Amino acid sequence: MLTALDKNLQWTTLIRLSDQEVADLKGCKFYCPECHSPVIIKAGEIKIPHFAHLSGTDCGGSTEPETSIHMKGKKLLFQHFSSLISTVSLEQYLPSIQQRPDVYISLKDKSYAVEFQCAAISSDDFLVRTKGYQNKGIEPVWILGSRINMKGAGPRISLPHWQQQFIRYSPHAGYWISYLDADKESMLFYYNLTSLSARLFTSEVIILPLTSVLFPFQLPFKNKKNLQFEVYRNSNDTWIKNKLMYNSGVNDRFLKALYLNRDHLLSIPDFIGVPTEHTLLFISHPIEWQYYVWNDGFRKKSKGSIVRFWELYNFFLRRMSSGFIRCRSLPLVREEMKVEALKEYLMILVKRGIIKEIRNEEYYVTGTHTK
Ligand SMILES: [Zn+2]
């Protein structure tokens, strides 16, 4: 850590001090703001000067040994944000929730806890820390400190489960995630994310020198262009082929559902499996969740029937709670985005002439492609 209490219980931070000033402090006594046990100054060749517990100290909030890249990133973020805003603190301990964000920013109407995360974090820890802040009305700002894996042009990025937890949503930038490259002192924003599989996403990316990053972050507008038709057609074909080759119909819930409805994967209508922005919310393939939307809501309705949005949404929720549609775990994305996911798909069905919106959230079944 970069901040500790001195013997008069005054906050001391090492990051604005010269090497000589740090050396002069070495004989003084310092204490951990959290557990109050003594800490010592370590100033070596590799890591920036920092405080460390004596070995064997059991400190709840301590995740030592802290890596040099974590300390460096934390220092950069603190220095940069305090150049923009006067009310920024480093490693401030928040006793009511027993958490110590890397950087704490309080603006007039809102406070933010910035967490710079280099190592993999479990979903339990991520949720506890996130909820801890949110319950106090503090907005968590999670920034990745480990490089994002690029896969070719587009770009395509591959995100392991723990990194996916950092995904957020903004209406103009779409789904996005941020990464601070502490060595190059630049921020990378990957935005307009769309999911291709459980781990693979397409995205747009912008790289900014940290000094030009504003707070709260100003994200670019996403390019409206959707996935190219050919790309998703091919990826759907591959998915179908794999499904048929490697899953036995008896054990696969989706294939079983198709079988019971006397449908077959090779002959489902082409408005099922369409790429949408919010398909990222689901681990289930678009062919799966869109099939259930159509099957539960429209297929047995005769021409001229009226279907209401909330009816459809209830079917949709039931498919999720019973595990037919599997959702991605995204603690920073509001649950209501699932409403948007369904609305977005219904808009596509309107464009394809399957349904017509007659009133707000009321649809007329045209009789095309329904039994
Ligand atoms: Zn401690």
Task: Point out the domain boundary residue: 187, 209, 225.
Answer: 225
**Cα 6 to averaged position of ligand 1 atoms, centre (Å):** 14
Ligand 1 centroid vs 1 CA: distance in angstroms?
10
At residue 306, the pLDDT reads 95
- Whether 277 is in a domain gets the answer yes
Identify whether the C-beta of residue 61 lies closer than 8 Å to the C-beta of residue 35.
yes
Q: Is the pLDDT of residue 231 over 80?
A: no
Instruction: Give the single-character DSSP code of 279.
Output: G
| pLDDT (0 to 100) of residue 189 | 96
Query: What gap in Å lies between CA 218 and CA 173, rounded to an integer?
Result: 9
Closest CA to 286 of 240, 318, 222: 240
Distances from the Cα of 52 to the Cα of 15, 42, 268, angstroms: 15, 7, 61
Residue ending a domain, among 192, 225, 258, is 225
DSSP3 helix / strand / coil % (the chain, rounded to 5):
30, 25, 45
Ligand 1 centroid to residue 51 C-alpha, Å: 10
Distance 3 CA to ligand 1 centre (A): 11
Same-domain check for residues 251 and 357: yes
ipTM surpassing 0.95, yes or no? no
Q: By the 8 A CB rule, do 285 and 239 touch? A: yes
Q: How far is the CA of 94 from the centre of ligand 1 (A)?
A: 14
In a domain, 267, yes or no: yes
- Strands (E) in 198-287, as ranges, are 200-209
In the three-class reduction of DSSP (H, G, I as helix; E, B as strand; rest coil), residue 200 is classed as strand
Cα 221 to Cα 278: distance, rounded to the nearest angstrom: 17
Nearest Cα to Cα of residue 129 among 142, 120, 118, 143: 142
β-bridge mates for residue 181, sequence order: 186
Task: Give the per-residue pLDDT at 9.
Answer: 86
Q: How far is the CA of 225 from the centre of ligand 1 (A)?
A: 50
| CA 323 to chain CA mean position, Å | 21
User: Does 202 share its domain with 295?
Assistant: no
pLDDT of 67 above 90: no
Ligand 1 geometric centre to CA of 61 (Å): 7
User: What's the 33 CA to ligand 1 centre distance in angstroms?
Assistant: 7
Strands 138-144 and 149-150: unpaired
22 C-alpha to center of ligand 1: Å?
A: 20
Nearest CA to 51 out of 61, 65, 183 is that of 65
Cα–Cα distance measured from residue 350 to residue 34, given in angstroms and rounded to the nearest whole number: 57
Secondary structure of residue 292 in the 3-state scheme: helix
Kindly give the distance from the C-alpha atom of residue 83 to the centroid of ligand 1, in angstroms, as a whole number: 29
Same domain, 83 and 105: yes
Residues 98-119: pLDDT tens digits? 899 999 999 999 999 999 999 9
% of the chain surpassing 90 pLDDT: 68
Query: Cα(16)–Cα(136) distance, rounded to whole angstroms?
Result: 30
| Residue span of the structural domain in which 254 resides | 229-365
Q: Looking at the structure, do residues 192 and 292 belong to the same domain, yes or no? A: no
Both tokens assigned to 218: 């100003």
Read off the pLDDT of each residue in 130-157 and give the average, rounded to a whole number. 91
Average pLDDT taken over every residue of the chain: 91
Overall number of domains in the chain: 2
Distance 87 CA to ligand 1 centre (A): 24
**How do residues 209-228 score in pLDDT, each as one tens digit?**
999 999 999 999 998 665 56
Please give the C-alpha separations between residue 301 and each of 256, 294, 315, in angstroms, as whole numbers.
22, 10, 14
| β-bridge partners, 213 | none
**Same domain? 234 vs 191:** no
Q: How far apart are CA 88 and CA 103, in angstroms?
A: 7
Q: What is the pLDDT of residues 15-65, one digit of tens each?
A: 888 889 998 988 899 998 888 899 999 988 778 899 988 887 777 655 556
Of 206, 225, 244, which residue is a domain's last?
Answer: 225
